[in-house]
Amino acid sequence: MSEKTDAHEATPVATQDVSALCEAVRCASRVCARGASTKLPCAEGTATVLDLTKLSGVIDYQPTEFVIQVWAGTPVRAVQMLLAEHGQYLPFDPLLIEQGATIGGTVAANANGPERYRYGGVRDFIIGVHFIDGEGHHLAGGGKVVKNAAGFDFPKLLVGSRGRLGVITDVTFKVFPKPEAYATLRLTCAHLAEALNMLPKLTNCPYDLNAVDVVAEAERECVELRVRVGGLRGGLAARMDRVRALVGGGEIVSGEDEETLWREAREFTWLPKGACVVKVPLTPARIPALDAQLRGYARRYSVGGTVAWIAAEDIGAIDALLRAQDLPGLVMLRSLQEPRIGARLPNPFAERVKAALDPHNKFGDL
């Protein structure tokens, strides 16, 4: 099952046996771990694909600890449903749940949604990990308690590592109580500049906001500001009134309509048919210059203006644009090319970490 092949057709290894996965890594020259293939492709020239979807299920869940440990191939949806039974959730708002995203892929792609705004991203909730390094060692990092300062922080390291440092086999998260109710303020702004002027008012105020997004459509000048607030039912209406007063107007939505707005963001149903999406981390001050080049693209500025999502078919054009503006990018969804685009600086620290964990470069370049 772990023979080398030169063909583009990779050999899938599907197993729930971790030691067999370790053995496969030891024997192969190029390895790629695959979950539900919702976000990122395997690196080019991969000889052995490790299909992790059978490595699925909950290992340990203690609701009163706010801690859950699950196998990497577990669908995120199953985890969210189990947590919801106990009034809890993964606060980083994982992406593409309905399309079958797995826990391992969510960590490897650092797939945070708009609600990351409130409490943080995958990095802020991952507390433990097991993974296979490039020599087939099954390693542990972190633990199962929410506070832990022992040993190097392998759990955080693997967030966003795109499978290039190791094969994640299980993950332990800190979880939080889920807001009992949500409401969202929608405000149409004539121009992006108007919405951007509003951002610091929202991000610097002492109100507890769950998400702050700006939605821009391809062919329209006006944009929509969306502010999501969650918490106990009592007090929510009063909180929404304050948000509306702060931004000077807007429509308050709740219930199913409200859910749909954020489901759309999480599942990328707003993308034109066949388009990929490019994730660009930035700060609000970088948005005007970037946006000036993006007329004609559907795009969103999420998490208080700290990440841009750009719908794109011609990745080459976005790559060139990002390089010119010295911004990094990551192509997600429906693309088979190398996902990391845009600006990159040499990183000697990264090179040394890669050399230690994957000395034979089995997992592909960083």
Partner 1 sequence: MSLGAFLAALQRYLPADRILSHPAALAAYESDALTAFRQRPLAVAVPETQDEVIATVRLCHQHRMPFVARGSGTSLSGGSLPVKDGIVIALNRLNRILKVDITQRFAVVEAGVINLDITRAVAHSGLLFAPDPSSQPICTIGGNIAFNSGGAHCLKYGMTSNHILGLKVVLPDGEVAHLGSESLENVDADWVGLFVGSEGLFGIALEATVRLLPKPETYRTLLAAYRSMEAAGDTVSAIIASGLLPGALEIMDNLSIQAAEAAVKAGYPTDAAALLIVELEGERAQVEAEWERLQVIIERSRPYLVKVAQTEEERLKIWKGRKSAFSAVGRLSSDYIVQDGVVPRRRLGEALARIDQLSAKWGIRVANVFHAGDGNLHPLIMFDGRQPGALERAEALAGEIIDLCIELGGSITGEHGVGMEKRRYMPRQFGQVDLEAMQRLRRAIDPLELANRGKVFPEGEPPALHHVGPHPLERAGVISRE
Residues 91-110 that bind partner 1 (CB under 8 A): 110
Pairing of strands 126-132, 48-51: unpaired
Q: How far apart are CA 254 and CA 24, in angstroms?
A: 49
Q: Which residues inside 256-295 make contact with partner 1, applying CB under 8 A?
A: 279-285
Q: What is the DSSP string of 224-284?
A: EEEEEEEE-STTHHHHHHHHHHHHT--EEE-HHHHHHHHHHHHHTTTSPTT-EEEEEE--G
**Which residue in the set 144, 244, 323, 334 belongs to the binding site for partner 1 (CB under 8 A)?**
144
Q: Which residues, including other chains, have CB under 8 Å from residue 49's CB and lie 6 or more apart?
A: 10, 11, 12, 13, 31, 32, 33, 34, 42
Considering only 92, 154, 301, 363, the residue that binds partner 1 (CB under 8 A) is 154
Q: By CB under 8 A, is residue 182 in contact with partner 1?
A: no
How far is residue 228 from each of residues 189, 195, 211, 254, measured CA to CA in Å? Answer: 17, 15, 5, 10
CA dihedral (261, 262, 267, 272) positive or negative: positive
Q: By CB under 8 A, is residue 58 in contact with partner 1?
A: no
Please pick, from the candidates 66, 194, 244, 315, the single residue that binds partner 1 as defined by CB under 8 A: 66
**Cα end-to-end span (Å), the chain:** 26
Q: Which of 165, 167, 294, 318 binds partner 1 (CB under 8 A)?
A: 165
Enumerate residues 192-231 that contact partner 1 by CB under 8 A. 200, 203-208, 231
- 320 within 8 A of 271, measured Cβ to Cβ: no
Q: Which of 34, 162, 266, 300 binds partner 1 (CB under 8 A)?
A: 162
What DSSP designation does 18 have? Answer: H
Number of residues that bind partner 1 (CB under 8 A): 89
Which residue lies nearer to partner 1 by CB, 102 or 161? 161
77 touching partner 1, by CB under 8 A: no
Nearer to partner 1, 13 or 67 (CB): 67
164 binds partner 1 (CB under 8 A): yes
Q: Which is nearer to partner 1, 94 or 141 (CB)?
A: 141
What are the structure tokens assigned to 147, written together?
């506070």
The verdict on 146 binding partner 1 (CB under 8 A) reads yes
Only one of the segments 59-67, 71-79, 213-221, 312-320 lies at the binding site for partner 1 (rule: CB under 8 A); that segment is 59-67
Site residues for partner 1, 300-329, by CB under 8 A, read 303-304, 306-307, 328-329
Site for partner 1 (CB under 8 A): which residue of 26, 77, 186, 239?
239
> Under the criterion CB under 8 A, does residue 43 sit at the interface with partner 1?
no
116 three-state secondary structure: helix
Concatenated DSSP letters for 195-221? HHHHHHHHHTSSS--SEEEEEE-TT-S
Q: Which of residues 106-135 bind partner 1 (CB under 8 A)?
A: 110, 112, 116, 119-121, 123-124, 133
